[in-house]
Amino acid sequence: MADDKKMVEAITSMEDDFAQWYTDVCTKAELISYSNVKGCMVIKPAGYAIWENIQKELDRRFKETGVENVYMPMFIPESLLQKEKDHVEGFAPEVAWVTQGGLEPLAEKLCVRPTSETLFCDFYKGEVESYRDLPKCYNQWCSVVRWEKTTRPFLRSREFLWQEGHTIHATAKEAEERTEQMLNLYADFCEDFLAIPVVRGRKTDKEKFAGAEATYTIEALMHDGKALQSGTSHNFGDGFAKAFGIQYTDKDNKLQTPHQTSWGVSTRIIGAIIMVHGDNSGLVLPPKVAPVQAMIIPIQQKKEGVLEKAMELRDKLGAFRVKVDDTDKSPGWKFSEQEMRGIPVRIEIGPKDIANNQCVVVRRDTREKITVNLDELDVKLGEILDTMQKDMYERALAHREAHTYEATDYEGFKKTIDEKPGFVKAMWCGDVECENKIKEDTGATSRCMPFNSKPIADTCVCCGKKAKALVYWGRAY
C-alpha cells in the first residue's frame, strides 16, 4: 500500500453519539460533502447513485399507474402563491424570495418554489375545460428550497431533491382513490426496494399539509427510536381548484369543480436508509438500491492470473451491478472501504481460490462468509442478495416491533416516551389542545392515525375524554 494512504478512519459509535455517527457515515461513506452555501450539501457520486436508483424505480412504478413527467418553473410570483390562503400561511416561514433581476429590482418578487401546487393550478386552468381533459396525472423531478433553520444531511437541507406528483380529477372519489393508491405505492416501494417497514396512516389536521383536505403518510422508525416521515400523499379536495378558478364542463354540459391530489418523496429517504440499516462500520445498503451490489477483491492480485480471473468473474456476473477493486490498496483497506460504503457483498478471489475453482462471498450485513464454486457463482450470488434483502427487512421490522409500545394513561405515556425511544400507541380525543400538550410535555408528535387500527382504550391518553382515534406518537426528525 502506498505510504501516503491511511486506513479508513473509524466512525463514532452509534451508541455513544447517534447524531455524530450519522454525520460520519454521510461524509466518510462519501455520500455528501459540505458546501459554502449554508444549509446546502453537495451530493457526491456515491450518494447521487443511490438517488438515481430510487428515482429509476419510483419512476417506473409511477408510469405503471398512468403518470407522465413534466417540469414546472422554479419561480412562483407572489400573487400566485397568495391565492390559496392556508397554503401560503403554511409555507411562509420557509420561503426564499428573489427581489432583484440583474441590476434592477423586480416589479413583483418571486418565490423560489418550496412546492409547486400553485404552479400546477395555474397550468391546469388553461388545460382543463371538459370532462374529456380529465384526469391529468403528472409528476416532476426537481429541487425545492425551504429556508430551514437547522439542517442535517439528507434529513433537512435548504435545497433538496424530490419528486412531486400532481393529479386532477373529475370527482372526489377518483381523487381519494389516487391519494390512497400513491401512498400504498410508496409503502410498497419502501418495504420491497429499501427494506424499510413503514406504518401507513392519516395525519391529524394539525400535521396535515397546508391547504390539504387530508394527508396520508408512511412513517418509519430509525435505529435510535426516532420516527421519520418517509413519504406523503395529499387529497386537496376542490379547495385549490376553487381558489384558482379551475372548472370543467361535465357530460351534461354543466360546470363542475375538479378535485386534486399531490404526493412526494425526497432525498430524505436516503437518510432513512442510513439510519435504519447502518452499523458501526458504516453504511449498509439493501441490495436492490445499492449502486454496486458486489465488489470483487482480488487477493495477491499481482500474482499471475488473479486479476484476470477477477475481471472474468465480473463479466460473468453481468446480470448484477459488480465492480473489481484493482487499486494498489491492501486487502484490509479494501474490506474496510467496502464496509464503510455499504456494498452488499464482497467477493474474495486469490491464488488458492482459483486453484480450488471457488471464491469467498462475504455478506455486508452479517459478515457471513460463504464459499461458492465459481461455476455456480452467478446463481448463488442472486440467492445471497435476495436472502440479504429479505433479512434486512425482517431485522428492521423486528426492531420496530420491539420498540413499539402502548400507553393508556398519561403518566405511563410520558414515562414511556422519556425512557423507551420508539413509537407509542395511545388513544386521542381529536382535540388539538391535547396534541399540543403532549408535544409540550414530551417532545413527541402525532405521527399518524394508522389505517384499520383497533382501539386499545376508550378514553384519550391525555385528557381522559372519549377517544376518537388510535395514534402513533413519537419523537421525530
pLDDT category at 6 given cuts 50, 70, 90 is very low
* Size of the chain, expressed as the number of residues it contains: 477
Sheet holding 159-169, edge to edge: 68-69, 136-145, 159-169, 259-266, 227-237, 214-221, 199-202, 445-450, 469-474, 423-428, 404-406
Tell me the CA end-to-end span of the chain in Å, nearest whole number.
41
Residue 7 has pLDDT above 50, yes or no: no
User: What's the rounded Cα separation, in Å, for the pair 266 and 218?
Assistant: 13
pLDDT category at 91 given cuts 50, 70, 90 is confident
Judge contact between 274 and 32, C-beta under 8 A. no
- Check residue 201 and report its DSSP letter: E
Sheet holding 345-349, edge to edge: 322-324, 294-298, 345-349, 358-363, 369-373
Burial class (CB in 10 A: 0-12, 13-18, 19+), 133: middle
Helix, strand, coil abundance in the chain, percent, nearest 5: 35, 30, 35
User: What's the rounded Cα separation, in Å, for the pair 413 and 48?
Assistant: 40
Residue 183 has pLDDT above 90, yes or no: yes
What does the pLDDT average to over 90-94? 83
User: What's the rounded Cα separation, in Å, for the pair 269 and 281?
Assistant: 20
What does the pLDDT average to over 167-172? 98
What does the pLDDT average to over 147-175? 96
Judge contact between 134 and 248, C-beta under 8 A. yes
Digit-coded pLDDT (tens) for 14-43: 999 999 999 999 999 999 999 999 999 999
Residue 5 has pLDDT above 70, yes or no: no
Mean pLDDT of the chain: 96
* Phi, psi of 356, rounded to the nearest 5 degrees: -95, 10
Q: Name residues whose C-beta falls within 8 Å of residue 387's C-beta, 6 or more positions apart in sequence.
A: none
Digit-coded pLDDT (tens) for 194-245: 999 999 999 999 999 988 999 999 999 999 999 999 999 999 999 999 999 9
What does the pLDDT average to over 434-454? 97
Judge contact between 230 and 218, C-beta under 8 A. yes
User: What's the rounded Cα separation, in Å, for the pair 404 and 425?
Assistant: 7
Locate 346 and state its grid cell.
464482497
What does the pLDDT average to over 259-271? 98
Digit-coded pLDDT (tens) for 321-378: 999 999 999 999 999 999 999 999 999 999 999 999 999 999 999 999 999 999 999 9
Digit-coded pLDDT (tens) for 279-326: 999 999 999 999 999 999 999 999 999 999 999 999 999 999 999 999
Per-residue pLDDT, 93: 87
Residue 189 has pLDDT above 70, yes or no: yes
User: What's the rounded Cα separation, in Å, for the pair 166 and 124?
Assistant: 10
Domains of the chain: 18-71+122-277 (3.30.930.10), 294-384 (3.40.50.800), 404-474 (3.30.110.30)
- Cis bond before residue 135 (omega within 30° of 0): yes
Q: Find where cell 382513490 sits.
A: 177
**Amino acid identity of 352?**
K
